[in-house]
């Protein structure tokens, strides 16, 4: 069976002739990047409605029947591990809305690769976290990112369209008291929304023993309202923080999306993920699996590689190795189709049809 990329607008990248996947080589693309990180979106639903991610109303939800089951996720994760994936980040939508979340973590964390057990991380908005965190840790969760854009209750309610700041703070407190280290907090910097509070957010993170990472707002909102002129840039974020602290760059970024700075000589650090003004595609080692089983090789890609249809279309009782081969072929096709970089800064850039909540951030 040959994996067929589904093009959602821009021309589907051609898989170079002769580029036959070599399982032993791992997930290496045509630009030499080795992929070790797979972000799995568990749902497109969410308990919040952040303006930069989802519309207030009228979102087109994925059909429930299309959402991958836990068995399907585990099967795909096992194949991905055999091809070199070492870290799985569970995301969404809001991953904690998935009722079987502890089971998903337990079963993915039980997978071992040649270097030992895989790492299972999660990005969450923190709601419900306080309640489930002990079970998640017992199940094998090793790292946690919690998103919080403001600690001002009114602004939080306006930005997320839900008055749930207390629940998020409770989740952050539970995470801060746990052994999951380093705890990272994500904040999207937005003009006129939280750009006068960036240093306060960092101070809050330092107080709870977490590391804050600012994210430049990207054109991934399902309402398609992103506007470059109102985006707060990496430079502006650094300028705002430099008014309060001295910042010294931390060397050794590797493939990490965040550039980091040491605050006043340390030990605290702050990060900036500048996907728009300082893209880091050359070192990208990440792939994505949407909740409805589409592999994606970039947040901004217009092409998806449909694993659900392929696997669900196989005859009942198909041999395990045949199912695994089909998944591996689709994953390899996805990797081989990866472009050298995203085109946000190109006039021909087209925003993907899916919003961030349906891609998996
Ligand atoms: N619901 C979870 C959360 O908010 O952490 C996980 C999914 S969310 C899509 C993952 C991350 O993507 C969050 O940190 C969120 O702030 C970020 N995000 C969402 N839309 C974004 C956008 N348009 N630009 C930049 N970051 C965005
Ligand atoms: Fe939900 Fe996360 Fe999107 Fe906010 S950023 S709406 S919490 S998925």
Residues 162-191: tens digit of each pLDDT: 999 999 999 999 999 999 999 999 999 999
Mean pLDDT within 236-254: 95
278 found inside a domain: no
Which string of b and e fits 219-240 if b means at least 16 CB within 10 Å? Answer: bbbbeeebeeeebbbbebbbeb
Q: Does ligand 2 have an atom closer than 6 angstroms to the CB of 48?
A: yes
pLDDT at 16: 44
Residue 49 lies in a domain: yes
Could you tell me whether strands 259-263 and 269-273 are parallel, antiparallel, or unpaired per DSSP bridges? antiparallel
Contact assessment for residue 77 and residue 40, using Cβ atoms and an 8 Å cutoff: yes
| Residue of 293, 290, 301 lying closest to 326 (CA atoms) | 293
pLDDT given for residue 241 in this prediction: 98
Is residue 128 assigned to a domain?
Answer: yes
The annotation status of 247 as a binding-site residue, yes or no, is no
Whether 12 is in a domain gets the answer yes
Q: Cα of 88 to ligand 2 centre, how many Å? A: 19
Q: Which two tokens stand for residue 235?
A: 């430079």
- Determine if ligand 2 sits within 6 Å of the CB of residue 155: no
140 lines ligand 2 (CB under 6 A): no
Q: Is 227 within the bounds of a domain?
A: no
With respect to residue 274, please indicate whether it lies within any of the assigned structural domains.
Answer: no
Q: What is the CATH number of the domain that holds 116?
A: 3.20.20.70
What's the mean pLDDT in 252-264? 92
The pLDDT value given to residue 130? 98
Supply the mean pLDDT for the chain: 91
pTM exceeding 0.95? no
Nearest CA, atom 25, ligand 1:
217
* Residue 23 pLDDT level (bands cut at 50, 70, 90): low
How many distinct structural domains can be found in the chain?
Answer: 1
pLDDT at 120: 98
* Domain that residue 328 falls in: 2-182+284-359
pLDDT of residue 9: 39
Q: What is the model's pLDDT at position 19?
A: 47
Looking from the CA of 309 toward its CB, the CA atoms found within 13 Å total 11
Q: Ligand 1 centre from 319 Cα, in Å?
A: 38
- Report the alpha-carbon distance of residue 143 to residue 120 in Å, rounded: 7
Tell how far the Cα of 41 is from the centroid of ligand 2, in angstroms: 12
In a domain, 241, yes or no: no
Confidence at residue 4, expressed as pLDDT on a 0 to 100 scale: 43
The answer, yes or no, to whether any atom of ligand 2 lies below 6 A from the CB of 92, is yes
- Cα separation, 208 vs 151, in Å, equals 13
The region of weakest confidence among 217-226, 302-311, 321-330, 345-354 is 345-354
317 within domain boundaries: yes
């Amino acid at each position: 069976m040959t994996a067929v990329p589904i093009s959602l607008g821009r021309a589907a990248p051609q898989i170079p002739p002769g580029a036959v996947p070599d399982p032993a080589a791992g997930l290496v693309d045509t630009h030499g990047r080795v992929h070790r990180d797979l972000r799995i979106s568990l749902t497109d639903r969410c308990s919040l409605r952040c303006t930069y991610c989802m519309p207030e109303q009228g979102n087109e939800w994925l059909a429930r029947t299309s959402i991958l089951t836990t068995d399907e996720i585990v099967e795909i994760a096992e194949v991905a591990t055999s091809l070199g994936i070492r870290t799985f980040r569970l995301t969404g939508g809001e991953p904690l809305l998935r009722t079987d979340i502890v089971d998903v973590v337990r079963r993915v964390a039980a997978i071992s690769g040649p270097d030992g057990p895989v790492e299972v991380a999660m990005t969450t908005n923190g709601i419900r976290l306080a309640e489930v965190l002990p079970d998640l840790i017992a199940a094998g969760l090793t790292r946690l990112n919690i998103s919080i854009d403001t600690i001002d209750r009114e602004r939080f309610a306006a930005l997320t369209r839900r008055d749930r700041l207390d629940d998020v703070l409770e989740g952050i407190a539970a995470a801060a008291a746990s052994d999951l280290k380093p705890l990272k907090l994500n904040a999207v910097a937005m003009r006129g929304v939280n750009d006068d509070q960036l240093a306060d957010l960092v101070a809050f993170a330092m107080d709870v023993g977490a590391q804050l990472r600012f994210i430049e707002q990207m054109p991934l909102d399902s309402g398609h309202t992103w506007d470059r002129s109102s985006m707060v840039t990496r430079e502006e974020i650094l300028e705002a923080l430099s008014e309060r602290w001295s910042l010294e760059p931390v060397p050794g970024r590797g493939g990490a999306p965040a550039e980091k700075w040491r605050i006043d000589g340390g030990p605290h650090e702050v990060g900036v993920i500048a996907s728009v003004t300082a893209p880091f595609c050359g070192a990208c080692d990440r792939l994505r699996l949407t909740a409805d089983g589409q592999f994606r090789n970039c947040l901004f890609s217009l092409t998806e590689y449909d694993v659900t249809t392929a696997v669900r279309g196989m005859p009942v009782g198909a041999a395990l190795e045949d199912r695994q081969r089909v998944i591996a072929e689709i994953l390899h096709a996805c990797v081989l189709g990866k472009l050298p970089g995203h085109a946000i800064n190109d006039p021909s850039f087209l925003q993907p049809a899916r919003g961030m909540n349906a891609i998996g951030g």
